[in-house]
Chain A
Amino acid sequence: AQSVTQPDIHITVSEGASLELRCNYSYGATPYLFWYVQSPGQGLQLLLKYFSGDTLVQGIKGFEAEFKRSQSSFNLRKPSVHWSDAAEYFCAVADNYGQNFVFGPGTRLSVLP
C-alpha cells in the first residue's frame, strides 16, 4: 500500500519569498502524484498532478512541483509567495489500479506581510 509523508507540519514565510513544501511517498510502482490546497473552511482544490513525462510540472496559481524518483519526492515550489497562498497543502498518491487515493498529513503555510 502506498503512503505519503510531509515532514513539515507548519511553515511560515514572508510575502514575496520563495517556498518549497516537501512530500515523500512510498510506493513500489510508478506513482501518480498530486498536490491539493485547502483554504480555511473550504474543500480541496487541485494545484497540479504528475503521472508521466516531464518531471517538472506546472500548476495553477504559479505553483510547480518536481518529481524525483531517486528521492521518492514530489516537492511543491513557488518563486514568490502571496498573502493569499496562506492555506493548508496536501500531497497525495494514487495507486496503479486507480482506486486507492492516499493523502499526507498536510503542511500549513502562514505568510507574513
Chain B
Amino acid sequence: DAGITQSPRHKVTETGTPVTLRCHQTENHRYMYWYRQDPGHGLRLIHYSYGVKDTDKGEVSDGYSVSRSKTEDFLLTLESATSSQTSVYFCAIRELGSTTEAFFGQGTRLTVV
C-alpha cells in the first residue's frame, strides 16, 4: 500500500470553528489532492497541489484553503466550519505523468454540529 496517512481519522467540531486535516505521504509523489465524498456526488475535488507551495482550486474549493510547505505534507483547512462541510475527506497522491493512477488515504470523517 502507498504510504499515505490522514489525520485525524474522525473529528466532530462545532460550527464556526477552524479545522485542519493533515495528509502525510512517504512516497515523494509530486501531486497531492483533497477530495470530499458525499452520497450521490462521488468524489469531488477541493484543491490539489503540484509541488511545494504550488496549489490550485478544484470544483468545490469555497470555504477551504490548503498549504503545502513540504513535499510530504498537504494540509486542508476549513477556516470556519459549516454543517455543509460535514463529509468524508480523502487525500490522494499521484506521481508525475498523466498515465499514473492516484493512491488514496483511508479518509477522515468530519462532522460539523
A residues at B contact (CB < 8 Å): 6, 9, 32, 34, 36, 42-46, 49, 51-52, 90, 92, 94-106
Residues of A within 8 A of B92 (CB): 44, 101
Is B113 interfacial (CB-CB < 8 Å)?
A: no
B residues at A contact (CB < 8 Å): 31, 33, 35, 40-45, 48, 50, 56, 58, 90, 92, 94, 96-107
Residues of A within 8 A of B41 (CB): 105
Query: Can you pick out 14 interface pairs between chain A and chain B where the beta carbons lie within 8 Å of each other?
Result: A6-B42, A9-B40, A44-B90, A46-B103, A51-B99, A90-B43, A95-B98, A98-B31, A98-B97, A99-B48, A101-B33, A103-B35, A103-B45, A104-B42
B107 touches A43 (CB 8 A): yes
Q: Which of A42, A90, A99, A101 has the most CB of B within 10 A?
A: A101
Q: Which of A43, A52, A92, A102 has the most CB of B within 10 A?
A: A43
A-B CB pair tally, cutoff 8 Å: 66
Chain B residue at smallest Cβ distance from A31: B98
B42 touches A43 (CB 8 A): no
Residues of A within 8 A of B102 (CB): 34, 92, 101
Residues of A within 8 A of B104 (CB): 36, 43-45
B90 touches A49 (CB 8 A): no
B54 to chain A, nearest CB (A): 10
Nearest 7 Cβ contacts at the A-B interface: A98-B98, A105-B42, A51-B99, A103-B43, A43-B104, A44-B104, A106-B42
Bound state CA distance, A103 and B43, in angstroms? 6
Chain A residue at smallest Cβ distance from B96: A98
A41 to chain B, nearest CB (A): 8
Bound state CA distance, A34 and B44, in angstroms? 16
Residues of B within 8 A of A105 (CB): 40-42
A59 to chain B, nearest CB (A): 11
Chain A residue at smallest Cβ distance from B31: A99
Residues of B within 8 A of A101 (CB): 31, 33, 45, 48, 92, 94, 102
